[in-house]
Structure 1
Amino acid sequence: MNISSGVIAKAQKVVIYGPEGIGKSTLAAQFPLPLFTDTEGSTHNMDVRRLDKPTSWTMLLQQVEFVKNARPCETYIIDTADWAELLCIEHICKTHNKKGIEDFGYGNGYTYLGEEFGRLLNKLTELIEVGINVVLTAHSQIKRFERPDEMGAYDRWELKLGNKKTVATTASLVKEWADIVLFCNFQVTVVSSGNNSNAKKKGVGGKRMMYTTHNPAWDAKNRFGLPDQMDMSYQGIAHIFNRQNDIENQQPVSQQAQEPQEPVTQQEELIKTPSFSREAQIEIPGIIPVSVADLMKSSQVTVEEIKAIIYQGGFMPQDTPLENIPQDLWNYLVTNWDKALNLLNTQIRKF
């Protein structure tokens, strides 16, 4: 049995949520050497490094795997988690040939959703284990909350993940997974134009604030003793990530005595990083759906190879034109891309 003590240096799992336009993406972009997976296109006007917008759940999981293996960043950001959840729902419905998540009945669709989204969180935890911070941004929504031990109910801010039926699965999983949950909102003061009850009221102010601890009106948490309320700025939490670097740099004497190596700058390290770009040297006709085309580019699968998968996999007769491939088959390939690649590598490419 091993007993350890002291602070353990590790990357952090952070959730930043709030109303639209509050500046969640801008705040996330200030984390150390960030890299975005932009699921909704909110970073188009920002000078940040980003992967291609995922057009399928499978592509999103591939991007996480790429980050783990290539390590092209110090902070990986999914912007936003609720749009990623939509990709997850689409994936589940295509896999089970359903038109919507409600078509499963008895809440089974939401059970599948929790299990599949948990798979993403597990992959993101693998990034933490290799020293990469993970930030999930999300929108907020106001929901009516009823306490089981009290009379009455009240409104509160919550993560905008699914609807009422998914609060106990996706949203709860994300909150439990995170080390830090930051709720961002505009600080508004309501003032009255008179002293009587009929006087008109209006909101003034609008300063952007960040809340770090749980409150009846919102969800938040941290494990670093942060003030309950802070200005919405990375400077207030920068010490958490600086401390991580300081602890990692405190090497044992035995390691310090080793022969020094030439330092590698971040820019040189990024140059060595493999490319994960849609500009791969593969030309794909427009008849192939974008979700399939993106996976083909990221996996370096040619048009002839995708045809071979379809023909040798027994999905369609030999020499069937691409325009005659049904949409259901394209959907099947997206949701079973790993199987398609296995067929390609074991039975097609080896010949």
Structure 2
Amino acid sequence: MTNLLEAIQSGRQSKPPRVLLYGVEGIGKSTFGSQAPKPIFIQTEDGLDEIECDRFPLAGTFDEVMAALKTLRDEKHDYQSVVIDSLDWLERLIWDKLCQQYGVESIEKVDGGYARGYTHALSLWREVLDVLNLLRSRGMVVILIAHSKVERFEDPESSPYDRYSPRLHKHAAALVKEWTDAVLFATRKLRTQTEDGGFNRKRTIAHAVGKDGGERVIRAYGSPSCVAKNRYGISEELPLSWSAFVAAMSTN
């Protein structure tokens, strides 16, 4: 029997990052993915026509997504990053797969209902993450792209408030957020200004900072306004670019 003490590892181990980037439509999430080292996109939604990148044909089923992932796992290639664009559309394919397996029309009716379908969906999510883990172990960066939603957060230490989060069911979101090394929120930098609204009332107006609708940034740390995290000690707001993210990783 192997002595487990002899297998103990120590020190930092540098591995390619696993990144979840989410934000509103058109802010530059796919462009961020295209800036990663030699990327290949697995597209579950149509929207990459204006971006110079290599991509698999648009996946219309969960099985087609898995076929693309397994191709990267099994075939020889020189891609260094894999980008799934997007997770919320992948989730729809996962739900379609479950509905097909159970012969029902809605995820709400899978296995008799009572939200069991969302729990069963986690097994398909884990299939995706298992292959991504293998790709990462072979040196590939993993980038997962999602749209954002506004959710009501019941904070046990304060009053409830709204915040941005990935547009996924809460069970899937929890699994993916735990698996990734960084959850990044892409947004525009805004400046707020309080003005007189008349009748002794004040109103707060948000103004874009910079050109073209506002400077595009990413937040890698959680706050009351958004869900975010990272394992690299990044605590500052960054420009929305892969190079800025990598530079911040290397300096922390």
SS at 2:20's partner residue?
Answer: strand
SS at 2:189's partner residue?
Answer: strand
Aligned counterpart, 2:244: 236
Report how far residue 219 of structure 1 moved. 1.4
Match of 1:184 among 183, 186, 189: 186
Contact 2:23 2:187 in 1 (8 A): yes
Letter in 1 for 2:109: D
Task: Check if 1:92 corresponds to 2:94.
Answer: no
SS at 1:237's partner residue?
Answer: helix
Match of 2:201 among 198, 203, 211: 198
Which ranges in structure 2 are unaligned for 5 or more consecutive residues? 1-5, 209-213
Judged with a 3 Å threshold, the aligned counterparts in structure 2 of structure 1 residues 190 and 132 are, in CA distance, closer, same or farther, namely same
Distance 1:150 1:11 in 2: 36
Aligned counterpart, 1:43: 48
More helix by share: 1
More strand by share: 2
Aligned counterpart, 1:132: 140
SS at 2:49's partner residue?
Answer: coil
Judged with a 3 Å threshold, the aligned counterparts in structure 2 of structure 1 residues 240 and 11 are, in CA distance, closer, same or farther, namely farther
Match runs of 1:7-86 below 5 Å? 7-70=12-75, 71-86=77-92
Which ranges in structure 1 are unaligned for 5 or more consecutive residues? 244-351
Report how far residue 9 of structure 1 moved. 2.8
Distance 1:112 1:5 in 2: 37
Q: Deviations over 1:34-83 (max 9, x none)?
A: 11011111211111111111111011001000011223410000011110
Moved more, 183-192 or 197-206: 197-206
Task: Check if 1:108 corresponds to 2:116.
Answer: yes
Task: Check if 1:226 corresponds to 2:228.
Answer: no
Judged with a 3 Å threshold, the aligned counterparts in structure 2 of structure 1 residues 112 and 189 are, in CA distance, closer, same or farther, namely same
Report how far residue 112 of structure 1 moved. 1.1
Which protein, 1 or 2, shows the higher relative CO under an 8 Å CA cutoff with sep ≥ 6?
2
SS at 2:201's partner residue?
Answer: coil
Number of matched residues?
237
Distance 1:208 1:101 in 2: 36
TM-score, L = length of structure 1: 0.64
Q: Deviations over 1:80-101 (max 9, x none)?
A: 1110111110111011101001
TM-score, L = length of structure 2: 0.87
Moved more, 16-25 or 1-10: 1-10
Judged with a 3 Å threshold, the aligned counterparts in structure 2 of structure 1 residues 108 and 27 are, in CA distance, closer, same or farther, namely same
Identity across matched positions, percent:
30
